[in-house]
Structure 1
Amino acid sequence: MLIVFALDRIRMEVVALGGLGLGVALGLVPPVQAFAGFSHPAFITVVEILLIVQVLGHSAILDAVTRRIPVIAPTEIRVLTVLCLLTATLSVFMNNIGALALMLPVVTSVCRVTALDSRRILMPVSFAALLGGLCSVIGTPANLIVSSQLADATGTGFTFFDFAWVGVPAALAGLLVIVTWPRRILGSKSTGAGRSPPQSFRTVVSEVQIGPRSPLAGTPAADTGLTIHAMRRAGENILFQRRGTRIEAGDTLLIEIGLQELEEGLASGAMLLPKALHSSANTQRVEAVIMPESVLVGSRIGALEGLASRGIGIIAVATHTPRIEGSLADLQLSIGDVLYLTGDPEAIGEAVEEADILPLWPKPQSEAAESHWAPILAFAGGVTFAAFGLAPPELAFGLVVFFLAATGSLNLRKGLAALDWPILIMLATMIPLGLAVGSTGAASVLAGGLMTIVPGQSALVLSVALLFVAVVITPFVNNASTAIILGPIALGAATAAGIAPEPLLLAVALGASIDFLTPIGHHNNTIVMGLAGYRFVDFIKVGWPVTIAVIGAATLALRAWWA
C-alpha cells in the first residue's frame, strides 16, 4: 500500500479502502473492526478541528492583524517573520491545513499592500504551518495517532503539550532558517512602496481570441514566443505545429502565458476574452485557490455547472497539471490550482462557499463579516480543557462543536459536506490496518529487524533511527499513514529494548510531519506550489536546510527531555 500511495496513480482513499478490504479478506483485520477507525479518537478529533476551523475562517478574526502587519513590519524580513510566527502559532491549536487556509488571504493582502513578491513568502508560510503543528497533540493528525497508540499500549496517552518539549525547539530552529534561507533562493526583491507586486512568476492557462489589430495576426505560430497548446479557426482545430502556419485575426488560442503578459494583452486589445466573459458594470474578478476539500478537485472546467449556472466565467487557471490540450473546458482541476473568476460579486460569493474554494483577492462580499468572538472564546475553552487534562481532546472539541452548532455559528449539514473526506476516509481505514501491524506480530518482526541494524539499544539512538525512517517515507506517503505504520514498530522496538516508548513515538510523529522536500507529501505544499508557481526542485533547494535544522534541534531536545 505504501508503494501504491507513493506512485500517486490511484486516489488515496481508494487505495486505503482496497487495502482494508484485502486485510479483512486475509483475516488480518477482524470484520467487526473494519470500520472501527471512524469511531477512533484521532479521527473524531480531526473532524471536530476541521469543523471549528470552518467557523473561524468565516469570521474576520485576522483582518485587524492584516492591517497592522505593514505598520509594525516595515521591511521584508520582518513581514516574513511576523507571518511565519503567526502561522506557526495558529497551527499549534488547529490542523496545519486549517492554519494555512486562514493565513493565505492574509499573505495575499499583505503582499499586495507592501509590494512584496509572494514567491518569497508562501513557501516559508507553508513550512511554518507544518512546524507549528509539531507542538501540540492536535497540531497534526500524526500527533493524535501516536498519542492514541501510546494510550492503547500503556493506558495513558500524551498530554496536550507533551509534544512541545521537542516540537518547540524543532519549530524555532526551522523558523530561524525559513526567515533567512528562502530569500536567497526564491523570487526577486520587493518592488518598492506604491508599486504593484511582481506577477511575472505566475504562469496561467487561458483561452483567448486574437484581436483584429493584434500584432500577433499574420505571425507564424512558432514565432510568437507563446506556449500554444491548441488553436481553432472558425470552430475547426488547426495543426499549428505545421511549419508556416500563421495566426489570423479571430483565431482562438489555448495558451500558457505569464499573468502580467495576459493582462497587458487584454488591456491593449491584442487578445480578447470570449463574449461570455466580457465585463459589465457589476462584474468582479476574484482570485481563488482550490483547497483539498473542494468538490472541484478532479473536475473539468467545462463541467462546472455550479459556476456556469450563476453566470461565472473562468478567465484563466494557474495549474501544475502537465497535460494541457483541447480547450480550456477540457482542463482538469487539482489541489492548489488558482482560478481567476469573473462575474457578479454575490454569485461568486455563493459559488465560493458551495465549491469550497478559498478566495484570495479580493474577499467576496458574502464573506465580509464582522469579527465574532463567541466561536473564538469557545475554541479557547476547548483548548484549555484539553491542555489541562480536564477532558480528552475528542470530548473537549466535541463540546466546542456542539456549542457552535447550538448557537447557529456552524451548520453541521453544510460543515460535514465541506470536509476533506478523501483524507478522512484514508485516515479512518488505515487505523485498523495500523492496529493489525501490532496484533499480527508484524510490528515485532520489523522492530527486531530495526534492532539488528541500529547500533546500540539506547532510547536516543532508536528515536533518531525512527525519525530518519519517517522523514524518508513521509514525502511520498501521507503523514497520518506514516505514523499509523511506524507507531506499532516504535512500540515493538521499545518493548524489545526495555525502554519507555514515549521518545520513539515522538520521533515518529515528528518525522512524519516535517515534509519540506517535496510538493506532494503534504497538501500545504501542493497548495502553495500552485499559488506561487514553484517548481519541484524549489522545495528541495529551500527544504533541505530546514529539514537538517529541525532534525538537529529535535535530536538535542529528545536527548535533553525524553531519551
Structure 2
Amino acid sequence: MSFEQAGILLLLVGMLVVFALDRLRMEVVALSGLGLAALAGLLPAPAIFSGLSSPAFVTVVELLLIAQVLGRSGLFSGLAGRISAAGWSTRSTSAILCAVTAVISVFMNNIAALALMIPVVFSVCRATALDPRRVLMPVGFAALLGGLCSLSGTPANLIVSQQLGERTGRAFAFFDFAYAGVPVMLAGVIVTVFWAGRALRDGGAGMPGHPGQMRRRVVTEAVIPPGSAFVGTAVAALPVRVHALIRNDRHVLRRPQAQLEVGDILLLEAESTRVSDWIAEGMLARLPFSAPLTGRPERVEAVIMPESTLVGSRLRSLESFHSRGIRILAVAAQTPRIEGRFDDLQLSIGDILYLEGDRDAIDEAVEETELLSLWPTPQRPEDGGTSRLPLGIFAAGVVACILGAAPPLAFGGVVLVLAAAGSLNLRRGLAELDWPILIMLAAMIPLGQAVETTGAAAVLADGLMHALPGEHPLVMIGAVLLLAVVVTPFVNNASTAIVLAPIAMNIAGAAALPPEPFLIAVALGASIDFLTPVGHHNNTIVMGIAGYRFADFLRIGWPATLAACATAILAIPFFWM
C-alpha cells in the first residue's frame, strides 16, 4: 500500500470517527479533511474545489430550491382535511400518511418531504384523536424509503449516478433506482406501519394531535420564589434532574442534602407540563426577562431544522429573538451535555424551542432563522397561495430527465422558469438553503474521488473480496449493502455513498460483474437508516418533536431494517443482473 493510499484511508477513517462523535459541525470536519488532504498532497490542486462544480452538488442545490417553491405552493393545504374526513382506522390513517410521504419523497429531498408532512400529520391527529407518537416515526421512515426510488430522492442516489457516469460514460436514468427501490419502499412501509402500530400503542404523549401539550422533557431555568413548597427541600429529593444550582450568582456544589433557599436558581430538566404546573402553583417562577414583552404575549413551539441558522448557536447569541423581545422559555434538547447556565445551551438539529412573545414577532424570527413552527400553526398564509404552476414546471423537468436530459440541465431549467414566473426569489432561496450539508457534500466529493485515483478503492475492494465467504454475486452485493447499512447510522448517507461507491465499483470490476447492481446496493444501504436517531436528520427531527427515546428507534427500526435489507438483496440481482 502506497503512502497516498494509506493516507487517504487513514484520513477518511479519522473523519468518520469525528462525524460519529458529533462534537464538531459536519461542514467543519469535511473542510478540515479536505484541507489536510490538500496539504498532504493526496489531492491535486485543481481537484480541491471540484465538488462545487460536481453535477451531484449542482443538482442537489437545484432540487432544494425547487422544494422550497413546492412547499410554499399550498398544494398540500387540503390534504389533512381529506384524510381526516375519510374516517379510517388508526392503522389505515398511518398507512395513508406514510404512503403520501413516500410518494412526495420520490420527487423531493426526503428532509423537505418530512417538513411538508409534519403539519399534515398534526392536523390529522388533532382531528382524529390519534396520538402523534404512533405516526411521526413511521412517517419519518417513509420519507427515507420514498427517496430510494428516484434520482432526486436523496443525494446518495445522485452521487452513485455521477460516479457511474464518470466510470462508464452512462449514468443512471431518473427512475432506474425504482426497480429495486419500489419493492424496498413497499416492504419497509408495510412492516413499519404494522409493527409501529403495535409497539407504539401505549406511547402516552399527552393530548392526541396537540403538539403544544405533548409531554417532552425540556431544559429550563427557574427561581425558587418566596413561599415555595420547595424551600428547605434537599436537591436530591426533587423529582426532577437538576443540572446546576446557582445561589448569589455562584454555582453551588450539589451535595445530596443541600437545601434550597428563596432566590436559588435551578437549571433543571423535567417534563414540560410538570414545569408549567409548578410555575402555576407558585413552587417555581420564571427569571425576569431583560426586554419587556410587547403586545399580547403568546407561546409558540418550533423545531430546529437542518437548514436553520441556529444549529450550533448558543441561546445567549440568538439576536433574532432577543432583539424582538421574544423569550425562550425552555428547550427540548437532543444533547445530553448540559453545562453552565441556560444561556450556554448549544442548539442542535431537532431541538424544540418554547418561545413567548408577540406572535407577529415570533413568526418573523421563526422564518428568518429557518425553524419549523409546530404549534400553533403559522398565522400568515404561505407565499403565493395555492398554485399548481410550480408542480407542472417541476413535472416537465422530471419528464426531461426521463427522456435523457442531464439532471443539472433539466432541473436548472426548472429553476430558471420558476424564477422567471415569479414563483422563486433566487436571492431568498439561496439564503435559505441547507448550506452546512451542501458545504459538507462539496468537500467530501473530492475526497471520494481521491479514494479512486490513489488506488485505495482497489486495495479495499481486494481485501473485501478475500474476506467474503464466497464469490457468488448475491453474497458480494449483500456484503456491500450491509456495509453501507452499518456505516450510515454514524455518518450521513451522502458521505457513505461518496466513500463506498468507488470501493463497490472496484469489487464489481474484480468479479467481472457490471457496476450498476453494486452502486444500487450502496445507494439503498446508505438510506436504510432506521436504528438510531442520529444517523439521518429525519430521525433526529421526529425524535425531538415526539419525544422518542433512543431505544424506540431500535425497537421500531429493526423490523423495517431487516425487511428493507432482505428485499433489496433479492430485488437488486433480479432487476440488475
Normalised by the shorter chain, which TM-score bucket?
A: over 0.9
Q: How does 1:317-356 map to 2 (within 5 A)?
A: 317-356=331-370
**Which residue identity lines up with residue 322 of structure 2 in the other structure?**
A
Deviates more, 1:163-172 or 1:319-328: 319-328
Correspondent of 1:75 among 72, 78, 89: 89
Other structure's SS at 1:179 match:
helix
Shift of 1:182: 2.0
Determine if contact 1:169/1:553 at 8 Å carries over to the other structure: yes
Aligned to 1:507: 521
The answer to whether residue 191 in structure 2 is matched with residue 204 in structure 1 is: no
Other structure's SS at 1:253 match:
strand
Q: How does 1:70-469 map to 2 (within 5 A)?
A: 70-186=84-200, 188=202, 199=213, 201-233=215-247, 235-241=249-255, 243-248=257-262, 250-276=263-289, 282-369=296-383, 370-389=385-404, 391-469=405-483
Deviates more, 1:107-116 or 1:484-493: 107-116
Other structure's SS at 2:153 match:
coil
Shift of 1:121: 1.8
Determine if contact 1:117/1:197 at 8 Å carries over to the other structure: no
Other structure's SS at 1:299 match:
coil
Deviates more, 1:348-357 or 1:366-375: 366-375
The answer to whether residue 512 in structure 2 is matched with residue 498 in structure 1 is: yes
Shift of 1:535: 2.2
Structure 1-normalised TM-score? 0.93
Equivalent-residue separation in structure 2 for 1:230 and 1:191 (angstroms):
27
Equivalent-residue separation in structure 2 for 1:323 and 1:32 (angstroms):
41
Other structure's SS at 2:413 match:
helix
Aligned to 1:9: 23
Deviations 1:74-94, CA, capped at 9 Å, x for gaps = 432122112111111111001
Equivalent-residue separation in structure 1 for 2:315 and 2:210 (angstroms):
30
Determine if contact 1:348/1:364 at 8 Å carries over to the other structure: no
**How large is the Cα RMSD of the aligned pairs?**
2.4
Deviates more, 1:266-275 or 1:397-406: 266-275
Determine if contact 1:116/1:189 at 8 Å carries over to the other structure: no
**Which residue identity lines up with residue 287 of structure 1 in the other structure?**
E
Correspondent of 2:501 among 487, 500, 508: 487
Shift of 1:262: 2.3
Q: How does 1:40-51 map to 2 (within 5 A)?
A: 40-51=54-65
Q: Report the identity percentage.
A: 57
Aligned to 1:27: 41
Other structure's SS at 1:15 match:
helix
The answer to whether residue 541 in structure 2 is matched with residue 521 in structure 1 is: no
Change (3 A) 1:488 1:192: closer
Equivalent-residue separation in structure 1 for 2:531 and 2:525 (angstroms):
12
Determine if contact 1:93/1:138 at 8 Å carries over to the other structure: yes
**Which residue identity lines up with residue 472 of structure 1 in the other structure?**
V
Aligned to 2:570: 556
Change (3 A) 1:15 1:372: same
Equivalent-residue separation in structure 2 for 1:106 and 1:84 (angstroms):
11
Equivalent-residue separation in structure 1 for 2:163 and 2:211 (angstroms):
48
**Which residue identity lines up with residue 19 of structure 2 in the other structure?**
F
Shift of 1:196: 6.2
Shift of 1:462: 1.8
Equivalent-residue separation in structure 2 for 1:9 and 1:325 (angstroms):
14
Other structure's SS at 1:265 match:
helix
Shift of 1:225: 1.1
Deviations 1:329-384, CA, capped at 9 Å, x for gaps = 12111111000111112111111111111111122224545213222222222222
Equivalent-residue separation in structure 2 for 1:73 and 1:562 (angstroms):
42
Shift of 1:218: 4.1
Change (3 A) 1:153 1:196: closer
Equivalent-residue separation in structure 1 for 2:17 and 2:535 (angstroms):
13
Shift of 1:517: 1.1
Deviates more, 1:96-105 or 1:114-123: 114-123
Change (3 A) 1:243 1:134: same
Equivalent-residue separation in structure 1 for 2:208 and 2:259 (angstroms):
43
Equivalent-residue separation in structure 2 for 1:90 and 1:79 (angstroms):
17
Equivalent-residue separation in structure 2 for 1:543 and 1:36 (angstroms):
37
Equivalent-residue separation in structure 1 for 2:254 and 2:204 (angstroms):
39
Change (3 A) 1:278 1:259: farther
Contiguous gaps of at least 5 residues in structure 1: none
Determine if contact 1:300/1:331 at 8 Å carries over to the other structure: yes
Change (3 A) 1:553 1:130: same
Deviates more, 1:452-461 or 1:175-184: 452-461
Contiguous gaps of at least 5 residues in structure 2: 1-11
Deviates more, 1:238-247 or 1:402-411: 238-247
Other structure's SS at 1:63 match:
coil
Deviations 1:316-339, CA, capped at 9 Å, x for gaps = 110122122433212111111000
Shift of 1:194: 8.7
**Which residue identity lines up with residue 39 of structure 2 in the other structure?**
A
